[in-house]
Amino acid sequence: MKSHSILIVDDEPGFRELLVEAVRMDGFLADSAPDVDEALALVQEKHFAVVITDLMLPGGQSGMDLIGAIRKLDRRTFCIVMTGNATTEVAIQALKEGAYDFIQKPFTLVELISSLKRALNHYATLRENESYQAQLEEMVAERTGETMKLKENIEQLFDSFVAASVTAIESRDPSTSGHSERVAELTVALAEAVNRTEGGVYGAVHFSSGQLREVRYASLLHDVGKVGVREHLLLKAKKLQPERLDHVLQRLYQRDLEQVLDLYQQAWATGHDFDPGLLSTLMKTRQRESDSLVDMLRRCNEPYHLPQSTLDELEALENLDFQHWSGRLTPLLDPNDLESLRVRMGSLTVPEREEVRAHVSHSYRFLSRIPWTGELANIPQIAYAHHERLNGQGYPRGIQAEEIPVQSKIMAISDVFDALVAKDRTYKRSVSLEESLDILTEETRAGLLDRNLLDIFIEARVYEVTTMQPREAP
């Protein structure tokens, strides 16, 4: 307390010096000024804990004016007013102006020092509070910084986790390399284009930055459930696996040999001699017949659309058999192989397609186990609906348009578009940009995809996000 600076303001030099002396005697630092101007000049130069001022001052300005000016310059300074002609009104006005105390002349030095010490005690308490508050603010700022850092670390952890999961999906299914990232880029770009749309069905829809982040994660992870699907189904390019087709062709060859042997046996049984020329002729005849079957098998084995005429030809194979090593007559084609070859479009049978489609439910179960924070809470639901269609013909739940989150409708367009233009899928050819937009338009007409979102996708040229960039090598 002793090191505080005190300013004495009074126009009577003798009295002013007396007060300065008294204050210093009590151990305080003291300055003095004869009028308002000099007093304010000193206040601007340095901080005074207390200003003790006479009410009547020369130069047309009173102690009241001085208090008002000091409060504007330095609100921490306490003011004590001294006056010889005190009235209650004057005292009240001085306190209203912000004076801490009011001393009536004549007063004793003890009274003055006592008022000064009270003011300084109050001053010290306020300064302590200020310092405590500053410490608190510093602590809060520090904790806020730590919390922000922690949040940043968690976000980085999420990013790494998502990237690791994408790596896991794509190492399982290298034929769709980069698909998750491209779907994420397209989906976020379409959501941003929706944000820019004024009017129309989606004019009022706006995704926050948190929701854009949510939809990005949901898109990156939408196919994560493929890790639960058998790899050969994900990679199945033809209806029969190469070893199964070899198996059938080998049986066909064996059947040719068996038939030639039968013919020979018949010839010997009727007394004919061995004729090497006949063997070659019989084998060539058999092979010609078999070649047309092999050609038909190869055509059926492709994943493209199977015409009815080929399907009818396939039926002829159903009745062919060969002799198993056990002696049993066995069908040339196993029922499972026949079922595969009968698939009209694509390479998967119905049970196989169901297994691949189950990736959506696997994704949902996987994502639901992660405690996503508030703004990412909808990730499982968004990913769960990426194969649902507006007319209820989607899977796995077959839900209707109003039950499908808009983020999933956006993702569905990105997902189908990328699947169409992708050049790296083993089971289908890629189509041109123009053709893919035509197919998407057809799908909106069929009630599968959202027409308004596709319009935004095309008008905002969202597709350029991935089609204009060079693809990374798988």
Nearest residue (CB) to Fe ion, 64 versus 413: 413
Q: What are phi and psi of 180, to 5 degrees?
A: -60, -45
State the minimum distance, in angstroms, from the CB of residue 444 to Fe ion: 19
Q: 181 or 223: whose CB is closer to Fe ion?
A: 223
Helix (H, G, I), strand (E, B) or coil at 216: helix
Q: Which two tokens stand for residue 176?
A: 């769709």
Tell the smallest beta-carbon distance from residue 133 to Fe ion (Å): 55
Q: Tell the smallest beta-carbon distance from residue 366 to Fe ion (Å).
A: 13
Q: How far is the CB of 449 from Fe ion (least distance, A)?
A: 14
- Helix H or strand E encompassing 63: helix 63-73
Sorted by sequence, the CB contacts under 8 Å of residue 125 that are 6+ apart come out as none
Least distance from Fe ion to the Cβ atom of residue 437, Å: 18
* Smallest gap from residue 208 Cβ to Fe ion (A): 25
The answer to whether 62 touches 39, Cβ cutoff 8 Å, is no
Nearer to Fe ion, 181 or 450 (CB): 181
Start-to-end C-alpha separation, the chain: 76
User: Of 102 and 364, which CB lies nearer to Fe ion in the complex structure?
Assistant: 364
Half-sphere exposure of 44 (CA within 13 A, CB side): 8
At 366, list the tokens. 């996987």
CA–CA gap between residue 123 and residue 26 (Å, rounded): 17
Token digits for 80?
Answer: 């004590």
Q: Considering beta carbons, is residue 388 or 415 the nearer one to Fe ion?
A: 415
Q: Which is nearer to Fe ion, 10 or 415 (CB)?
A: 415
d(CA 372, CA 381) in angstroms, rounded, equals 12
Q: Are 227 and 221 in contact (CB under 8 A)?
A: no
- Say if CB 450 and CB 390 are below 8 A apart: yes
Question: Would you say 104 or 361 has its CB closer to Fe ion?
Answer: 361
- 264 vs 427, which CB is nearer to Fe ion? 427
Nearest distance, CB of residue 415 and Fe ion, angstroms: 4
Choose between 256 and 418: whose C-beta lies nearer to Fe ion. 418
Q: Is the dihedral of CA 341, 346, 348, 351 positive or negative?
A: negative
Distance between CA 449 and CA 443 in Å, rounded? Answer: 6
How far is the C-alpha of 474 from the C-alpha of 466, rounded, in Å?
15
Candidates 463, 453, 360, 357; CA nearest to 401 is: 453
Taking a C-beta distance cutoff of 8 angstroms, is the pair 422, 430 a contact?
Answer: yes
Give the H or E element holding residue 380. helix 379-384
Q: How far is the CB of 157 from Fe ion (least distance, A)?
A: 25
CA distance 381 to 378: 5
Running DSSP on this structure, what letter comes out for residue 375? G
Q: What is the closest distance, in whole angstroms, from the C-beta atom of residue 411 to Fe ion in the complex?
A: 8
Binding interface with Fe ion (CB under 5 A): 223, 415
CB of 209 to Fe ion, least distance (A): 24
Both tokens of 332, joined, read 């040339």
Of 241, 282, 235, nearest in space to 258 by CA: 282
Using the minimum distance from each CB to Fe ion, give the nearer residue, 10 or 223. Answer: 223
Rounded least distance, CB 354 to Fe ion, Å: 14
Closest CB to Fe ion among 31 and 181? 181
Q: 58, 29 in Cβ contact below 8 A?
A: no
